[in-house]
């Protein structure tokens, strides 16, 4: 691949031409007064392409198989409309079956072009099912469709230069950045355009375009780089996606030449205001900023004796006049911890830093909280911060890029994990975690979901072709967190791989996160990974490190005592009933036992097995499941390869690596437990 152009066509992901057929061969009418809106133009272009390709027609007016209507009026079924939140109403659409045309004629209506685009993709996803039955008999087809989360965002951890350790995409496993190359915007932005279209089809409405770790070149994105941001905004605007920049809190010094970045300093405030004025002058619909401050070495307000609210509100004030939003990350902890100090608990850090600031953040600040208290492990409890700040707009941050979940070399479909997280009930009642940013939490504050993207210049976008399903599922869950993760997987498979029997693939992928959990760090203990790159097992890799990630295994037992009674007190950061459930070894769920408790190797789980035996069993089982995946894929290869031999081969090759890696995980963890505990495997399998 040459440096600035993409010589191979990217894989179409879930939007191959085929998926447009059922629309493209029909008669379609698009009713709208507007002509110049870029999103409406996207709708027009998609319809034109589809009908040209598949022989359908676009009519100026009159009866048609499908009518798309952009109207100023509220939705027809106005009783439901009153329940739509203003924050998401403009992104909503309604599908009706008027019945006065053909029995299957459909009418899609929205009050804004983006609603119409989402309605269009709603029909794309249904495929021919939308027309092969009476519409009212197709579950989920008709009615008003509104996104649950106002914010449906992706963060790109893309560097503008090739970082010597992190590369062009930090924690990226799919090639280089599609945006940046050699410290500037790529001249060939074709992949960005295709990506924008893919995101629009899912309902993603915000992206940040550079790494939250802001290096020297990227710090100037808000000054020298405004033309780049403007070019990207132009591309993404057509798909309803706003552009954000990650900024360095120290930019007043490093970029502006001031002597301080103190958020209460008048010069600093003025500097940021001028920065904002200039950006919005060039990009009137610019989104705002993302900030990682006082975190893992990034600068922040602590240097000036200010707190995170001071820091965030100063930036928020600069962008508020333009309607900008500020995403302020809560991923703050002591990353130079002393492993000897067992009182300091990294899991406590975000709560300890942020919960006392509840209610102090400006209206246009969204505090962006990782879903778990540590860092995107395959299994963590939810972050107690999310239940502790009712008067703050809280975004839930997730990670589509598979940093700790197989790095897009392992099949690990994260939909089920996210579903569990988003539907967790922090107070043990009907309110779910996702309800909080959706505005249905105790304080009614609205925000949404944010996730780290998993794409790059790789032909298949995501390195592992099946990792596309994670991006897909994230977008769809952000729209509706109650969507069944397996249903979403089925959607992705059908769109991407086409008709055929992919039941086995669906089962294999649906189970793959639990399989990954089986063969990696057990029972919620986390972080048994190779330091630095985080791929592959190293049981003691982080045990004596400064990163605050320990399991404290010894000859007697393993796990972190985070109880109120005898531990770090972290369990007490949860509201009831979870503080009590987690506090007790008896009630703590098995899968989080070692996250909350230090227990003997002989400790009996709810399953009746000892901790040691559980580890042996899950690790043998996990490897067997990967071997089964290989058999499954072998059976599927012919049907996949018919459409895309390279797709089939890539998955096949990576499955071999997954098996090798899973065996390594199994053997290292089992051997470690055996050496430590001396407990023999009840089934007498080989432990080295």
Q: Which residue in 678, 680, 682, 685 binds a copy of itself (CB under 8 A)?
A: 678
Q: Which residue in 258, 659, 676, 681 binds a copy of itself (CB under 8 A)?
A: 676
Write out the two tokens for 166.
């992190």
Closest alpha carbon to 684 in 639, 617, 627: 617
Dihedral sign, Cα of residue 45, residue 51, residue 52, residue 54: positive
* Nearest-approach distance from CB 580 to a copy of itself, in angstroms: 31
Closest alpha carbon to 142 in 240, 76, 85: 76
Stretch that binds a copy of itself, among 75-83, 179-187, 285-293, 547-555 (CB under 8 A): 547-555
Q: Please tell me the number of Cα atoms within 13 Å of 622 on its side-chain side.
A: 32
> Distance (Å, rounded) from C-alpha 316 to C-alpha 664?
48
257 or 532, CB closer to a copy of itself? 532
Q: Which residue in 467, 539, 594, 636 binds a copy of itself (CB under 8 A)?
A: 539
Closest alpha carbon to 549 in 336, 299, 295, 329: 336
Stretch that binds a copy of itself, among 56-64, 288-296, 394-402, 539-547 (CB under 8 A): 539-547
CB 612 within 8 A of CB 618: no
Write out the two tokens for 634.
């072998």
164 or 305, CB closer to a copy of itself? 164
45 or 533, CB closer to a copy of itself? 533
Q: How far is CA 161 from the centre of its chain?
A: 24
Contacts of 205 (CB under 8 A, 6+ apart): 91, 114, 151, 152, 153, 240, 241, 242
Q: Tokens 């794409």 sit at which residue?
A: 455
Q: Does residue 296 carry a catalytic annotation?
A: yes
Site string for a copy of itself, 627-666 (x = CB under 8 A): -------------------------------------x--
510 or 679, CB closer to a copy of itself? 679
> Distance (Å, rounded) from C-alpha 472 to C-alpha 674?
40
Q: Which residue in 162, 504, 591, 667 binds a copy of itself (CB under 8 A)?
A: 667
* Nearest-approach distance from CB 484 to a copy of itself, in angstroms: 39
Stretch that binds a copy of itself, among 188-196, 298-306, 487-495, 533-541 (CB under 8 A): 533-541
164 or 257, CB closer to a copy of itself? 164
* Nearest-approach distance from CB 560 to a copy of itself, in angstroms: 14
H runs (alpha helix) in 426-577:
468-479, 485-497, 503-519
* Nearest-approach distance from CB 164 to a copy of itself, in angstroms: 8
99 or 678, CB closer to a copy of itself? 678
Stretch that binds a copy of itself, among 228-236, 353-361, 380-388, 534-542 (CB under 8 A): 534-542
> Distance (Å, rounded) from C-alpha 49 to C-alpha 13?
17
102 or 538, CB closer to a copy of itself? 538
Binding residues among 554-613 for a copy of itself as defined by CB under 8 A = 554-556
* Nearest-approach distance from CB 612 to a copy of itself, in angstroms: 12
E strands in 332-447: 365-370, 394-399
> Distance (Å, rounded) from C-alpha 493 to C-alpha 506?
8
Q: Of residues 158, 218, 325, 375, which has the active-site annotation? A: 375
45 or 660, CB closer to a copy of itself? 660
Q: Which residue in 336, 606, 675, 685 binds a copy of itself (CB under 8 A)?
A: 675
Q: Of residues 21, 170, 403, 583, which has the active-site annotation? A: 403
**Prior bond of 67 cis (ω within 30°):** no
Dihedral sign, Cα of residue 474, residue 476, residue 482, residue 487: negative
> Distance (Å, rounded) from C-alpha 214 to C-alpha 546?
22
Site string for a copy of itself, 150-169 (x = CB under 8 A): --------------x-----
Site string for a copy of itself, 486-525 (x = CB under 8 A): ----------------------------------------
Binding residues among 312-341 for a copy of itself as defined by CB under 8 A = 339-340
Q: Which residue in 537, 548, 567, 622 binds a copy of itself (CB under 8 A)?
A: 537
Does residue 344 touch a copy of itself according to CB under 8 A? Answer: no
Torsion angle defined by CA atoms of residues 125, 126, 127 and 131, in that order, rounded to the nearest 10 degrees: -150
Q: Does residue 491 carry a catalytic annotation?
A: no
- The pair phi, psi for residue 66, each rounded to 5°, is -135, 135
Does residue 674 touch a copy of itself according to CB under 8 A? Answer: yes
* Nearest-approach distance from CB 294 to a copy of itself, in angstroms: 25
Q: Please tell me the number of Cα atoms within 13 Å of 471 on its side-chain side.
A: 31
Question: How many helices and strands, by DSSP H and E, does the chain display?
Answer: 21, 20
Q: Of residues 296, 338, 646, 653, which has the active-site annotation? A: 296
Which region holds residue 140: left if phi is over 0, alpha if psi is between -120 and 50, else beta? left
Does residue 544 touch a copy of itself according to CB under 8 A? Answer: yes
384 or 567, CB closer to a copy of itself? 567
Q: End-to-end CA distance of the chain, in Å?
A: 44
33 or 340, CB closer to a copy of itself? 340
> Distance (Å, rounded) from C-alpha 89 to C-alpha 110?
9
> Distance (Å, rounded) from C-alpha 232 to C-alpha 286?
10
For a copy of itself, how many residues bind (rule: CB under 8 A)?
A: 23
> Distance (Å, rounded) from C-alpha 375 to C-alpha 481?
21
* Nearest-approach distance from CB 603 to a copy of itself, in angstroms: 17
190 or 671, CB closer to a copy of itself? 671
CB 416 within 8 A of CB 508: no
- Using CB under 8 A as the criterion, which residues of the chain lie in contact with a copy of itself when the complex forms? 164, 339-340, 342, 537-540, 544, 553-556, 664, 667-668, 671, 674-678, 688
Task: Give the residue numbers annotated as catalytic, written as ranges.
Answer: 296, 375, 403
């Amino acid at each position: 691949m040459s440096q600035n152009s993409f010589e191979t066509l990217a894989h179409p992901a879930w939007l191959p031409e085929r998926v447009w057929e059922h629309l493209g061969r029909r008669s379609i009418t698009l009713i709208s007064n507007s002509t110049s809106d870029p999103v409406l133009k996207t709708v027009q272009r998609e319809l034109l392409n589809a009908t040209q390709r598949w022989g359908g027609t676009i009519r100026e007016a009159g009866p048609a198989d499908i009518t798309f209507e952009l109207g100023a009026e509220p939705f027809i079924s106005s009783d439901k409309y009153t329940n739509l939140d203003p924050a998401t109403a403009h992104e909503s659409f309604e599908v009706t079956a008027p019945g006065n045309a053909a029995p299957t004629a459909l009418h899609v209506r929205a009050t804004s072009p983006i609603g119409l685009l989402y309605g269009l993709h709603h029909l794309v996803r249904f495929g021919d099912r939308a027309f092969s039955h009476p519409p009212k008999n197709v579950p989920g087809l008709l009615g008003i469709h509104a996104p649950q989360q106002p914010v449906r965002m992706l963060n790109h951890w893309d560097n503008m230069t090739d970082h010597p350790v992190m590369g062009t995409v930090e924690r990226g496993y799919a090639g280089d950045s599609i945006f940046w190359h050699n410290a500037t915007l790529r001249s060939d932005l074709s992949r960005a355009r295709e990506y924008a279209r893919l995101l629009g089809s899912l309902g993603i409405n915000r992206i940040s375009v550079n790494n939250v770790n802001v290096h020297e070149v990227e710090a100037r994105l808000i000054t020298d780089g405004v033309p780049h941001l403007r070019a990207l905004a132009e591309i993404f605007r057509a798909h309803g996606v706003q552009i954000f920049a990650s900024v360095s809190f120290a930019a007043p010094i490093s970029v502006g030449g001031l002597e301080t970045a103190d958020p209460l300093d008048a010069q600093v405030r003025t500097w940021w205001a001028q920065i904002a004025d200039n950006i919005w002058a060039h990009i009137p619909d610019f989104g705002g900023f993302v900030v990682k401050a006082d975190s893992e070495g990034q600068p922040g307000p602590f240097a000036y004796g200010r707190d995170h609210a001071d820091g965030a509100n100063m930036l928020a004030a600069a962008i508020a006049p333009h309607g900008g939003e500020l995403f302020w990350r809560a991923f703050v902890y002591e990353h130079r911890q002393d492993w000897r100090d067992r009182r300091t608990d990294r899991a406590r850090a975000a709560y300890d830093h942020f919960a006392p600031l509840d209610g102090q953040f400006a209206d246009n600040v969204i505090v962006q909280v990782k879903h778990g208290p540590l860092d995107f492990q395959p299994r963590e409890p939810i972050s107690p911060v999310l239940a502790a700040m009712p008067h703050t707009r809280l975004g839930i941050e997730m990670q589509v890029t598979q940093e700790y979940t197989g790095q897009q070399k392992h099949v690990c479909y994260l939909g089920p994990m996210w579903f569990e997280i988003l539907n967790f009930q922090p107070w043990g009642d009907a309110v779910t975690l996702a309800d909080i940013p959706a505005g249905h939490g105790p304080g009614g504050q609205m925000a949404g979901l944010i996730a780290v993207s998993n794409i790059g210049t790789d032909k298949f976008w995501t390195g592992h072709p099946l990792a596309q399903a994670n991006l897909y599922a994230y977008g769809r869950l952000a729209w509706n967190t109650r969507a069944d993760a397996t249903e979403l997987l089925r959607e992705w498979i059908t769109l991407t791989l086409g008709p055929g029997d992919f039941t086995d693939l669906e089962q294999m992928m649906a189970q793959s996160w639990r399989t990954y959990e089986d063969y990696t760090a057990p029972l919620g203990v986390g972080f048994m990974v190779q330091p630095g790159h985080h791929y592959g097992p190293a049981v003691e890799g982080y045990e004596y490190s400064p990163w605050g990630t320990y399991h404290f295994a010894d000859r007697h037992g393993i796990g972190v005592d985070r109880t109120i009674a005898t531990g770090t007190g972290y369990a007490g950061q949860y509201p009831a009933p979870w503080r009590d459930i987690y506090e007790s070894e008896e009630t703590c769920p098995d899968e989080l036992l070692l996250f909350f408790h230090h227990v003997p190797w002989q400790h009996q789980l709810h399953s009746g097995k000892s901790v040691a035996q559980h580890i042996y069993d899950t690790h043998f089982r996990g490897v067997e499941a990967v071997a089964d995946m290989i058999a499954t894929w072998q059976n599927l290869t012919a049907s996949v390869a018919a459409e895309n031999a390279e797709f089939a081969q890539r998955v096949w090759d990576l499955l071999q690596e997954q098996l090798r890696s899973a065996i390594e995980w199994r053997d290292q963890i089992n051997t470690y437990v055996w050496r430590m505990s001396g407990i023999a495997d009840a089934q007498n399998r080989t432990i080295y």
